[in-house]
Structure 1
């Protein structure tokens, strides 16, 4: 349901509400036992006016038009969605066991909703989370408490209502049904929430710096497109009336725009054209956008080589930047997603039993075939990896006797072999 439908009460088709309205002890300022819904403008990322009144207001919708903002959010969400999000259980002895038959593992890695690939849902949730600071997904359960689906909901279509520490969400699901659900049926991803519930966008926190970048982009676009004053014409004021003056102005403009003039328009004796080319200050304005890119990348903790900004980069720097990107950027965003997925998609009993999510970042560090074989060869001969474990990593079938660990190179493979030969 669009915001205009909410305001004017229109409807695009038959809609129905399946959940009864929430009834609770009355809270100040809220109908039906709930506090007033969160403003959709605040949730969309609208911020206050900068101290510099001429700077544009910053919103998520406007900010993503800046290529660096879009690239940062898209890179973070894309990398986190293309790697497996595995579900583990930590046993009492400290061993971690991967769980493959849990509904959450299937919904987050294969099909999140009927006909919707899990990577699509995780991409949109991660992108919205990084851009707006709030992302929502409907995660209902059946009568047995098992997850049925994870359906991403547009942030503009969700209203958050409060009843003490409880939260309720008004939205329209993919089937066109109006719903009001408690927090246990809603996946609410929130970033930098001061109160634990109301997420904030990084663009909202640093909106003045983002406003400077947006203002610089607008100014550079106007300068490059020539929509500013490209030239002016000086015409002698000897015309009989205004009509003659306008007619002569149209004649001069047509002479300038005439493709057959070859850059040499024919003007009158009293006409003069003053050309306004890019000044040194205008060229410096275009160059200053590099500083804006660095600032925006630092907000999202994304290394510059990841944004294909390689002016001063070499191979060694790129390799270190890839490590920094994993440790400083992806772990920062991925850990928050893992914990909030676990809080909403796992029951309290499962969390207390040691269930947790973890991104498989090893898929981002794929070595070459030579490096992979050398590493497996050293691991098998270590010994701490069996031959069959190494073969399974390569997708090969196990071999007979391959589950035994090799002894260290300075030891015999069978300590009883020598004793048996002496006895004979």
Structure 2
């Protein structure tokens, strides 16, 4: 008997050893995985069945998907769009043959929100990345070797288990504890999400069996087993559930119906749902009003929360992705002159008043020209529109400077 087999028997393995390749597998092995009241584990797919989780993930992914990402090149103090670079079209148009750039960024955000990591296989041609193929995060296991190199164990559906290098895998991760594996928000918030799922299940049962929890049948007579079972079946079929609400009851043998009020736990489950929704919004850092939670919302704080959503929810993701593009997709030579940038101004596309006011200030203070604004609005340039204005109170006085210099000398 081999040492590996002895260790397997010691840990409780039978014939086939259980492969532990992630913190989730380890928690499941030792029974530490959190389950709901129905005995089901809180997995990313189960978490998405909770409306607030689904809404938060959708808000973050669709918001990131609508932001265009372009590749730029520095030329001295100037910059220009590097649309002649092969990577530009991967980021801005399509990363592969079956996805658009918007769908790719949405999928990336979904993986980060539900798994904490996003992996894509890099396809090369003539030394350049020409295609990015997303991988299921659950099929990839990163490993840091003793020589500080990173390798990835990828379990392909048809090709089996393969070991790939860091040059073959593009890895975007959330904040980590070890510098390699991104923390899984669902795994670390299992109890919070599990309580939300249990509350949803409680509400479903409460309204499904409304007649049973809302009153009792009483009689002074003694019912036989046959009469009891017939009464039970008839009552369940004809009077239980929302479909039979307000249906008149036909009672016999001196039976009387006595309605009862909902107990305190049943009447307060809506407050529990509200609290869990707020906690989950905090987990994903999504303003409550974007998850249809309008409690304590006013027009003033909604406006400020909208701005904080960009600065504190999306910008951390944008800078994280931009850094990984520079490190993981550009060559060492191109890193010195090229960089990727998301345009967060696309979020203002629906706010016409704010957009035009910002254009007006840009033209007034001279850092935008009319043609710059027209280009941002997908309009053709006009003649004389390339002039940059300079406010009169911001200009220098060359003659005054010369007089001051003469007096000083």
Return the TM-score normalized by structure 1: 0.74
Aligned mates of 1:371, 1:137 — CA distance in 2: 37
Aligned position for 2:175: 192
> 1:43 and 1:397, CA in 2 relative to 1: closer, same or farther beyond 3 A?
farther
Aligned mates of 1:195, 1:228 — CA distance in 2: 54
Name the SS for the 2:124 alignment partner.
coil
Aligned position for 1:337: 321
> 1:79 and 1:373, CA in 2 relative to 1: closer, same or farther beyond 3 A?
closer
One of 140, 156, 161 as aligned partner of 2:123: 140
Name the SS for the 1:310 alignment partner.
coil
TM alignment of 1:12-91, pairs within 5 A: 38-39=21-22, 41-42=24-25, 48-49=32-33, 57-90=41-74
**CA deviation map 1:277-305 (0-9, x unaligned):** 53343121122211111111111111112
* C-alpha contact (below 8 Å) 2:363/2:369 kept by paired residues: yes
Aligned position for 2:297: 313
| 1:392 and 2:375 are equivalent in the alignment | yes
Name the SS for the 2:345 alignment partner.
helix
Aligned mates of 1:156, 1:292 — CA distance in 2: 27
Name the SS for the 2:179 alignment partner.
coil
CA-atom RMSD in angstroms: 3.7
Aligned mates of 2:234, 2:292 — CA distance in 1: 48
Name the SS for the 1:88 alignment partner.
strand
Aligned position for 1:267: 252
Name the SS for the 2:253 alignment partner.
coil
> 1:115 and 1:50, CA in 2 relative to 1: closer, same or farther beyond 3 A?
closer
> 1:235 and 1:253, CA in 2 relative to 1: closer, same or farther beyond 3 A?
farther
**How many matched pairs?**
371
Pick which of 94-103 and 194-203 moved more: 94-103
One of 147, 151, 175 as aligned partner of 2:133: 151
> 1:155 and 1:248, CA in 2 relative to 1: closer, same or farther beyond 3 A?
same
Aligned position for 1:278: 262
Name the SS for the 1:184 alignment partner.
coil
TM alignment of 1:100-119, pairs within 5 A: 100-119=83-102
Aligned position for 2:280: 296
Aligned mates of 1:239, 1:411 — CA distance in 2: 97
* C-alpha contact (below 8 Å) 2:211/2:239 kept by paired residues: no
Return the TM-score normalized by structure 2: 0.77
Name the SS for the 1:216 alignment partner.
helix
> 1:378 and 1:63, CA in 2 relative to 1: closer, same or farther beyond 3 A?
closer
**CA deviation map 1:307-355 (0-9, x unaligned):** 222232222221111111111111122222222233322223322x043
> 1:311 and 1:252, CA in 2 relative to 1: closer, same or farther beyond 3 A?
closer
Show structure 2 runs of 5+ residues with no match: 1-18, 399-409
Pick which of 245-254 and 103-112 moved more: 245-254
TM alignment of 1:202-217, pairs within 5 A: 202-217=185-200
* C-alpha contact (below 8 Å) 1:297/1:303 kept by paired residues: yes
Aligned mates of 1:192, 1:411 — CA distance in 2: 44
Aligned position for 1:7: none
* C-alpha contact (below 8 Å) 1:108/1:119 kept by paired residues: no
Show structure 1 runs of 5+ residues with no match: 1-35, 416-424
* C-alpha contact (below 8 Å) 1:256/1:265 kept by paired residues: no
Aligned mates of 2:37, 2:199 — CA distance in 1: 15
> 1:238 and 1:322, CA in 2 relative to 1: closer, same or farther beyond 3 A?
closer
Aligned mates of 2:357, 2:247 — CA distance in 1: 67
Pick which of 97-106 and 158-167 moved more: 158-167
Aligned position for 1:358: 341
**CA deviation map 1:74-110 (0-9, x unaligned):** 111110111101222345x554433222222211221
Aligned mates of 2:237, 2:220 — CA distance in 1: 18
Aligned mates of 2:256, 2:356 — CA distance in 1: 75
